[in-house]
A and B are shown apart, each in its own frame.
Chain A
Amino acid sequence: QKEVEQDPGPLSVPEGAIVSLNCTYSNSAFQYFMWYRQYSRKGPELLMYTYSSGNKEDGRFTAQVDKSSKYISLFIRDSQPSDSATYLCAMSQGAQKLVFGQGTRLTINP
């Protein structure tokens, strides 16, 4: 079993929809949770960085962490075609390495 599980999709939604992306994990020691966006053949771009449980909002993006369920989510409101990319969740224990999910390929249709 992988430490971090993420549905690879693909996920296709119409423009303007609310998108929900999720990851589950098995290591209860993870404390730092991140979401990255990766366009084809480009480097991952950090979208959200959260510590421990709770919600964090940045513009159209909201990240949620539920440590009791070992479950994290990223919501994208008013989705745009430019949001079409692969979204990677990542997490770490303190200063340890980042462990990534497989990524979810998202397409926003105009």
Chain B
Amino acid sequence: DSGVTQTPKHLITATGQRVTLRCSPRSGDLSVYWYQQSLDQGLQFLIQYYNGEERAKGNILERFSAQQFPDLHSELNLSSLELGDSALYFCASSVSPPNEQFFGPGTRLTVL
């Protein structure tokens, strides 16, 4: 157990819908990262937050957004969902970059 928690574990929804994925970092970690893992693309970095502020953006679609709250938990919002958004979404945390990143168990999103 890495200490990073993610909810929900599974999410099944329809195209065009909006969902919110939640992540709680390890105790003491200030930085949160979101990744998407699909079969054909591997693990892709989406976005990073440090102590509530956005620090870096990767291949994140405009339909996706995220934030980190004062208690350091983070949410990833996915809207206007498409079939291709079906994937595993992971959250990772670290004390601060470039320290080791520890991953949560992931949320499996299925868009029908």
Interface residues, chain A, with chain B CB atoms under 8 Å away = 31-32, 34, 36, 41-46, 49, 88, 90, 92, 94-103
With an 8 Å Cβ cutoff, the count of chain B residues facing the other chain is 24
Interface residues, chain B, with chain A CB atoms under 8 Å away = 2, 4, 33, 42-45, 48, 55-56, 58, 88, 90, 96-98, 100-106, 108
Residues of B within 8 A of A94 (CB): 97-98
* Contact, CB under 8 Å: B105 / A95: no
* Contact, CB under 8 Å: B100 / A49: yes
Which single member of A45, A49, A97, A102 contacts B48 (CB below 8 Å)? A97
Residues of B within 8 A of A31 (CB): 98
Residues of A within 8 A of B98 (CB): 31-32, 92, 94-96
Residues of B within 8 A of A100 (CB): 42-44
Residues of A within 8 A of B101 (CB): 34, 46, 98
Of all chain A residues, the one with the shortest Cβ separation from B9 is A41
* Contact, CB under 8 Å: B106 / A43: yes
Given A98-B45, A100-B42, A102-B42, A34 and B100 contact (CB-CB distance below 8 Å): yes
Which single member of B45, B55, B90, B108 contacts A44 (CB below 8 Å)? B90
B31 → chain A closest CB, angstroms:
9
Query: Counting chain A CB atoms within 10 Å of each CB, which of B48, B97, B101 scores highest?
Result: B101
